[in-house]
Structure 1
Amino acid sequence: MKIEELKFDANGLIPAVVQDATTREVLTVAYMNEESLGKSLQTRETWFYSRSRQELWHKGTTSGNTQRIVEIKYDCDGDALVVLVEPAGPACHTGAVSCFSENLLERSDDGDSPESTLERSDGQLASLGDFAVMLELESTIRQREQDMPEGAYTTYLFEKGVDKILKKVGEEASEVIIAAKNRDPEELKWEAADLLYHLMVLLQEQKLPLKEVLVVLNKRKKPSAGE
């Protein structure tokens, strides 16, 4: 289908749902006109049309949080788009990974929303949104390495270098093993969190994005029996 064959509304706009190409999390919903869609296809980065400012805008021009386009799909009616991207940083102007961070469902007595629980009744993980904290952590660590704020533990690790970071990864891995051997789930979850944090610092020191690790995991998926 050509751009001119898409069904733009009376204002010449078409909604574009932007998703992370790796996690499939919805990052934002914006609008495109023919010109911004054309620029998106040409540059392979997202361009939108601002209805409030009535002008084109390139995602990341100010923040640096660009979105590299992997694929653009249109629906069966040709009046909506899904844009799969590899984001260079948070999608939301608030600094959140996704603009969709609030939940309309009632919260439980302890203040947590139903979706924030780790498992649903069927035993499956509640949603990809549970893992947004990993991408936010990656962004924070990357910013720490860039700014090197005085007194921050992450700054200390980067200052000490890869040998110190590797030592910490090894120490935390040992702590995870000990907690597991002790059958102590409370201790295990804290030690696992420490291990993940230090592993994320190591990935940043090596300039290896977390998403590349996720891509490897995705490629390792094997169909279950009977599929």
Structure 2
Amino acid sequence: MSALHRLAETIEARKGADPESSWTAKLFHKGPEKCAEKFGEEAVEAIIEAVKGDRARLASEAADVLYHMLVMCAARDVGLADIEAELERREGTSGIAEKAARTP
């Protein structure tokens, strides 16, 4: 099992945890909107590091982005399996064709 899968399982397990015992539980307790806000903050930090060109800092911020993305999605009951299924559905389709097939 990959680190990403273990992380997703841990996040799911924290859904009902005491907010005083877990940062993830605290995020869930604050609601999906706060989870989305934290994801956005981390995404901006990753963008800044990508522009700066520091590989180690970018890797660190990208890890934060993945964590907060999984929390945000879990707050709306979208799990890593759902995301993987969507990626598999898109596999082998060009990005241009995939975008053209989306409904406005």
State TM-score, norm by structure 2. 0.81
Give unmatched runs, 5+ long, in structure 1. Answer: 1-96, 98-131
Q: 2:75 aligns with which of 205, 210, 217?
A: 205
Computing the radius of gyration over CA atoms, which structure comes out larger, 1 or 2?
A: 1
1:190 Cα deviation from its structure 2 partner: 0.4
1:158 Cα deviation from its structure 2 partner: 1.0
1:146 Cα deviation from its structure 2 partner: 2.1
Looking at secondary structure, tell me which structure has more helix per residue: 2
Q: 1:168 aligns with which of 18, 21, 38?
A: 38
d(CA) in 2 for partners of 1:152 and 1:223?
40
1:133 corresponds to 2:3: yes
1:223 Cα deviation from its structure 2 partner: 7.2
Q: 1:155 aligns with which of 21, 25, 28?
A: 25
1:147 Cα deviation from its structure 2 partner: 2.6
- CA change 1:223–1:200 in 2 (3 A) is closer
- CA change 1:139–1:223 in 2 (3 A) is closer
Runs of 4+ in 1 over 4 A off after TM superposition: none
Give the alignment's Cα RMSD to 1 decimal.
Answer: 1.7
1:143 Cα deviation from its structure 2 partner: 1.0
Q: Percent identity?
A: 37
Give unmatched runs, 5+ long, in structure 2. Answer: 95-104
Q: 1:194 aligns with which of 48, 64, 67?
A: 64
Q: Which residue identity lines up with residue 57 of structure 2 in the other structure? A: E
d(CA) in 1 for partners of 2:82 and 2:49?
29
Q: Deviations over 1:177-207 (max 9, x none)?
A: 1000001111100000000000111111111
Ranked by relative contact order (alpha carbons within 8 Å, sequence separation 6 or more), the top structure is 2
d(CA) in 1 for partners of 2:42 and 2:63?
9
1:149 Cα deviation from its structure 2 partner: 5.5
d(CA) in 2 for partners of 1:151 and 1:212?
27
**Number of residues of Structure 1 aligned to a counterpart in Structure 2:** 94
SS at match of 2:16: helix
Aligned positions of 1:74-153 closer than 5 A: 97=1, 132-148=2-18, 150-153=20-23
1:162 Cα deviation from its structure 2 partner: 1.3
Q: Deviations over 1:77-111 (max 9, x none)?
A: xxxxxxxxxxxxxxxxxxxx4xxxxxxxxxxxxxx
SS at match of 1:146: coil
d(CA) in 2 for partners of 1:149 and 1:155?
5
Do 2:16 and 2:25's aligned partners in 1 also have CA atoms closer than 8 Å? no
State TM-score, norm by structure 1. 0.39
Looking at secondary structure, tell me which structure has more strand per residue: 1
